[in-house]
Each structure stands twice: as C-alpha cells, then as structure tokens.
Structure 1
Amino acid sequence: MREPIISHVVRERSLTEMRSEYISMAMHEIKTPITAISSSIELLETKMQLDELMLPFYQRNLSRIKEEITTLNNMLEDILISGSMAAGNPDTKPEMTDVSAFAKMIRQRYFQQRPDKRQLRIKITGRRRDIYVDQSQLTGILVNLIGNAFKYSQEQAPLLSLSYRKQELCIRVKDKGIGIPEEHIRFLFTPFFRAGNVGDREGAGLGLAIVKRFVTANNGIITVHSDATGTVFTLTFPYASDVAS
C-alpha cells in the first residue's frame, strides 16, 4: 500500500516541476521582445532629446509606454516567482540589511519618475538597526506593496513608514485609495484573488500571495487594515541580532 502512495507523490512532484519549468521558459521567451521594446523606447527618447524634438505630447506618451512595460515586466516576474514557489517554499539568502537606505534605493529605482509626478513619501522613526533578510525578496515585497498603493489611489502619494521599535522593525505602507471590502480581506493573500472593487486596473492577483510567502520566509509577519479612507499593510521583522541569537 505504501509503495503506490510514494509513487503517486513522486509523480505529482515531477508534474509540478515540469509545469514550473515550462512556465519559466515561456515567461523568459515573452520577456525577450519586451526587453527589445524597452531598449528601443530608451533609444528613441534619447535621440529625440538630442535632436530637440521632445515635445510634451511625445514625452507624455513615451512615459506611458515605459510605465506599461514596467507593469508587464512586474506581472511576468510574479508569474515566474509563483511558478517556482509551487514546487516548494522560496529559497532565502538573508544578509544584514539597513532598511532605511534600502527603502530610499527602492524609491529611486522604481518610483522616481512617475507620469503623474507623485513621489513616494518615506518616514523613519527610532534608532536604526539592521534586519537579516533576503534583499531580492525584500525588493519584491516593497515594490508590490508600494506599486499597489500607487495603483489604487489617485491623488495623495503613498507613505512608507519605518518604525524602529524596541524589539522589532515595523514597516507600514499606507495609501488613501479605494480601500478593500471587509469581506474580501481574508482572501487577499490567496493566489489569483482580486477584490471586487478593483475594476479594470491591471493585475493577475499574484502579488500579495508572493508578498506573504516572502515575508513569512524571512521570519516576518504581515497584517492589513482597510476602510473607506484607504489601506495600511503592516509588516514586522526581528532585528538581526535577535535572529542570530
């Protein structure tokens, strides 16, 4: 009786790995033309600026194209990560991280030149201490949460706050957006789930599921509070010295 069960488990694992590999290959094939398009846009923008042909109309539409390319790339990354995680828990390579400096780098690299001119606000309180975290996964966490905060709010820019408490680092991403229906909050971290009020905003419903897996894999906790005034995601991580001990 035990032998057929083991054989079934092995077969299921093999199918999962094959599916993950297929998704990975397909996504990389899709990313190749996207990269080519992105490079062509950059060259076109540079050439138009050098030739003094960059009228506001062209600048506005080129910025929109670049923003949509970034959105598409992020969706592909989510699918790739989701496919790899289906075969097991994400591998973490933690290292000492100054989240204050890291957050400013994230703002500069991913949210600096938005077409709507909104800028991510960062607030830091308390005595800075490092945490022990996989920096690639921390990037995924922050880019997803901040990106959603921009996506689901229209006027005021999101706020990223870092509070260095006595025993833990508390990270909050706050927006004044459309909020999340109360009955949907418990499903937020389920793959492919999207709240009923998101309308036609782009997304595959994978980002928050990935965020939850990354937070948990790095000894963190994530909670969410939302009402008509907006949404707040709260993450807590132990300090590096506490993890080491």
Structure 2
Amino acid sequence: MKIQTKIAIQFSLIVGSLLAVFSFVIYQLFAEFREQEYYDRLKSKAITTAQLLIKVDEIDRDLLKIIDKNTLTALVDEKVLVFDQQNKLFYSSLDDHVIHYGNDLLNRVRKEKYVETSDDENEVVGLLYELNGQNYVILASAYDKFGHSKMANLRDILYSGLVISILVTVLLGIFFAGNALGPVNQFISQISTITANNLRERLDERHGKDEIGQLAAAFNKMMYRLEQSFELQKSFVSHASHELRTPLAALKSEVEISLDEKLSVAQHRGILENIRKDINRLIALSNSLLQIVRPLKSSINSAVEVRIDDVVFQAQDDLLLSKPEYRISVEYAKEPENEKHITILGDEPLLKTVFTNLISNACKYSANHQALVAIDFNETHTLVSVQDEGIGIPEEDLTAIFEPFYRSKNALTISGFGVGLSVCKRIVELHKGKIHVESQLQHGSKFLVELPHIL
C-alpha cells in the first residue's frame, strides 16, 4: 500500500473518529438536557396541582380536573396523581390514563422526598408535599413528544453530517496527501535516473525549510560522500595501476632479456639483482596499498588507553633499526605532571603507523636525515609535532598532500608512492583528532597531530 493511501486512510479514520465522538457527546448532552428540562416541567406541574388542590379551598377535585383538561400548557399524556398519608389515591387528573405505580415507588418517594423515573416512554416525577402535618405523595407523568421529535431530528442531522464529513475528509485526505508527497514522488523520479555515471546529480533541497527539504539535503550529502568514494576508488585504481605497471614492465623486460640473450653468469646476476629491486618495490607498494585499506576498514570501538610517548618511542626504535642513518630526536615540550595528559583512547598499531610515516618522511626528505619530534599537551588534547629541515612543500600543494597518491613536484625524484600522509590523516580522524602542516620551501616542514586525551 502506498504511503499516500495510508496517510489518507489514517487521516480519515482519525477525523471520522473525532467527529463520531463529537456527535455522540452532543447527542448525549442534548438528551440529558431534554430529560432534565422535562423532569423540571413535571415537577412544576406536580407542585402546582398540589398547591391548587390542597392549599386553595375554593378549588375542589372536579374543578381542578376541568382546569387540567382545558389548560393550554398541558403536556402529552399528562397524568397527575395525589396520594394521602395512607398511600390512598386522593386525586387523579384524568381517568383514561394510568400511571403504573406500586407501594415501593410511593415508599421510595416518602423516603427520598423527590424521585425521577420513567414508565415505558413516559417520564415520571414523584415528590413529597407536606402541609399541616400531612405528607402527600404526588406523581406526575407525561410523554415528551416534542422533545423526542427534536432528538430524532438531531440524530438524523448528526448521522447525515457524520457520513458527509467522512466522505469529504477522505477526499481531502487523498488530495492533501498527494500534495504533501508530491516532492517525494519527484525525488523518486530523479533518484531513478542517478547511476554510477552521473553521481553529480543532486535533488532540489527546497531551501531546507521542511522535512522534505531536510531529507533532500541528507540525500545530497550521502550522494556527495558516495561520489567521493567512487572518485577515491577510481583514483586508487588509476594510481595503483600506474605504480604497478612500471616495476612489472621492468620485470618483464629483464626476464625477456635473460631468456633471449646468451648472458654470462655476472650478467644474469645483475639481472637478478634488478629483479630483486623491482620485487622489493612491488612489496613496498603492496604494503602502502594495504595501509590505505586498513584504516578505512578499522574500527576503534574497542579502543584502549594508549600513551602517545610510548608509541612515538616505538616508532623511533623501529625506524632506527631499519634505517640506522636516520637521526631522530624526541623531546617533551613540558613535563606532564599527569600521565593522562598524554594518554588517549585509541588503536596503538594504527597510531604507531601515523608517527612512523611522519618521522620517516621527515628523515627521507631531509638532506641530513634528521627529524625533531616534540610531545606537548593542552587542556583537551595531546600534541605531537614532527619537524624537519628538508626540501619543504610548495604552498599550492599544501591542500592536496593528504590525498592518496598525491606527490609534490619537488618530491618526484625521491622514492615514494604518495600514500603515507593520506593514511595518517584518515587514522587521526578515526581517533577524532586533527593533523596540520606548516612548510616553507628549502626550510623544511612541520606536521602537528592533535589527539583528544582522557583527562
């Protein structure tokens, strides 16, 4: 079932229920008002009859009957009975109508002094009238013909109005639901045209003034992230293919030479040395590609407390072990009084990758292969800076160096794949941190990593 149909049905049910309840309440209130009003008229009639019959000596029973028969305000099927103290009938206004009564009703009236009840369709009022020490019971009965006629008319009007209102509500519900969901139908039509070849298509956000506009804005943000992911995938495939092609082509050429030419042992050894270099290059490239994939798939939901200085010293030891020519200096900007200032929640191997890459780059791009690492902190973050005195980064490249496979023009002669910094940025962001760079050509670069500590 379409949402438009569901909304129309639900809207109609809600409005119809409210109208039905409203009509029922109106009918019940009017019924109670009619009944109470008629009981008051019967009570007034009973009191008037008692006063005329008992208090006025000039009026006897026969005269009172004549008055009751000829009064203009007589009620339909009106009957008034008066009983003396021994429950004997003292007066009856008419002889051709009967009020069904018994001693139980008379005793009840004497006990409660005023009773409202009914006899079939007639309303009956019983009251106790006291005069000169005598207690008279008066029963007045009549049929509210006009009141019941009004009730029937009101019932017909409410039924008709309810049916017509429900029909109108259904039509209006369909109309307004269609209008409200019209933009959604437009979105569906636009979304159905979006494919992998036109991910730049965006929905009309309608200025974001309502939920539909907010939905469109959220969808557009999702499309932007999806587009970025596709672009990253294309870039990854393109650069990876390019980087893989060079060593593979070299391997192919060297193998073909060794097969086609009659070479000496020394020449074969030289070819094997070249093959080993190309294989090492392929291994390094594969490791770099794995570094890109790993942070994208990693989760730090099971993060543990990690001291940043321990991670930095581990990265220093590993680099000096593999590259003894590197000169790495690690110092504290200020001594931490509380170790929590330099402790964060995170993934230790990933953090080690960050500082290994930054320190390795600092040494690799410096003529003296030297890197200065400073550990600092503030009220909210642990700060680690890695500084070198290398070739620096051109200003126009500063905004792009964190993109995968991007390399500055002045670094193309130095071996590398342009992967490390993009990996560092992704890992730092996974830890809810930031990474900044300051650089000046021929004067070196400084990378600053900010990670929220646990204090």
Inter-partner Cα distance in structure 1 for 2:318 and 2:372: 17
Quick check: 161-170 or 206-215, which moved more?
161-170
Q: 1:232 to 1:7 in 2, by over 3 A?
A: closer
| 1:90 Cα deviation after fit | 3.8
Contact 1:112/1:119, CA 8 A, preserved across alignment? no
The structure 2 residue matched to 1:121, chosen from 329, 345, 352, is 329
Inter-partner Cα distance in structure 1 for 2:398 and 2:310: 31
- 1:191 and 2:400 correspond: no
Structure with bigger gyration radius: 2
Alignment match, 1:213? 426
CA distances 1:144-170 after superposition (whole Å, capped 9, x unpaired) = 111111110021510111012232111
- Root-mean-square deviation (CA, aligned residues, Å) is 3.4
Inter-partner Cα distance in structure 1 for 2:306 and 2:192: 47
The structure 1 residue matched to 2:376, chosen from 163, 169, 175, is 163
Q: 1:78 to 1:5 in 2, by over 3 A?
A: farther
Aligned AA for 2:445? Answer: T
- 1:172 and 2:385 correspond: yes
Inter-partner Cα distance in structure 1 for 2:319 and 2:353: 11
Inter-partner Cα distance in structure 2 for 1:75 and 1:122: 29
Alignment match, 1:47? none
The structure 1 residue matched to 2:436, chosen from 223, 231, 234, is 223
Contact 2:327/2:363, CA 8 A, preserved across alignment? no
Inter-partner Cα distance in structure 1 for 2:193 and 2:355: 41
The structure 2 residue matched to 1:111, chosen from 320, 333, 350, is 320
The structure 1 residue matched to 2:311, chosen from 93, 97, 102, is 102
The SS at the match of 2:305 is strand
CA distances 1:89-130 after superposition (whole Å, capped 9, x unpaired) = 6422421011112211221123235242x3210011231321
- 1:239 and 2:449 correspond: no
| 1:190 Cα deviation after fit | 1.1
How many residue pairs get matched? 190
- 1:141 and 2:349 correspond: no
Q: Which runs of 5+ in 1 are unaligned?
A: 24-29, 31-64
Q: 1:208 to 1:113 in 2, by over 3 A?
A: closer
CA distances 1:158-198 after superposition (whole Å, capped 9, x unpaired) = 01110122321110000000000011101111111100100
Q: 1:74 to 1:95 in 2, by over 3 A?
A: farther
Q: Which runs of 5+ in 2 are unaligned?
A: 1-187, 200-225, 238-243, 245-275
Aligned AA for 2:430? Answer: A
Q: 1:134 to 1:161 in 2, by over 3 A?
A: same
Inter-partner Cα distance in structure 1 for 2:453 and 2:294: 28
- 1:78 and 2:288 correspond: yes
Aligned AA for 1:235? Answer: V
The higher relative CO (CA closer than 8 Å, separation ≥ 6) is in: 1
Aligned AA for 2:372? Answer: L
Inter-partner Cα distance in structure 2 for 1:202 and 1:164: 34
Q: Matches of residues 58-69 of structure 1 in structure 2 within 5 Å?
A: none
Inter-partner Cα distance in structure 2 for 1:233 and 1:180: 12
